[in-house]
Amino acid sequence: MPSTPLPDLYRAYIDGLNRQAWDELHRHVAPDVERNGDKLGFAGYRAMLVKDFQDIPDLWFTIALLACTPPLVSARLAFDCSPKAKFLGLAVDGRKISFTENVFYEYRAGKIARVWSVVDKPAIEAQLAQMTAP
């Protein structure tokens, strides 16, 4: 493991995402990165993140909870954003929503090698139902 503590590595990764510093992403993500069992590789992982920001122009990652037991990092990320169209198959269509994501990362040689992520879709569904209720 590198000399930089995992919480600091993770915070630097999140900072880079929020700045959309795609040219720095290779410092944080392994070339053979996997997400939820899919072998995306660095290019696929980067493309996924870029698309997220295209689909959600006001996307901002806020660390609500962070725990580290090397080589693992677990985080609860909080979002308040307005996806342009569909998000997770839901017609959000620019409305402001709030939700969380529970995510686990496995680091290898100081870089994210595997990611497991679950977004709280029921929270979004409940908000959308409230927005359309008479």
In this predicted model, what pLDDT tens digit does every residue of 60-69 receive, in sequence order? 999 999 999 9
Backbone angles phi, psi at 94, to 5 degrees: 85, -5
Domain enclosing residue 122, as ranges: 6-132
| Listed range (2-6, 72-76, 96-100) with the worst mean pLDDT | 2-6
Q: Domain for residue 1, yes or no? A: no
Query: How far is Cα 104 from Cα 115, in angstroms, rounded to an integer?
Result: 6
Q: Domain for residue 91, yes or no? A: yes
Query: How far is Cα 44 from Cα 38, in angstroms, rounded to an integer?
Result: 10
Query: Over 80: is that where the pLDDT of 2 sits?
Result: no
Q: What is the CATH number of the domain that holds 104?
A: 3.10.450.50
For residue 95, the model assigns a pLDDT of: 96
Q: How many domains does the chain have?
A: 1
> pTM for this structure?
0.94
Q: Domain for residue 89, yes or no? A: yes
Q: Domain for residue 82, yes or no? A: yes
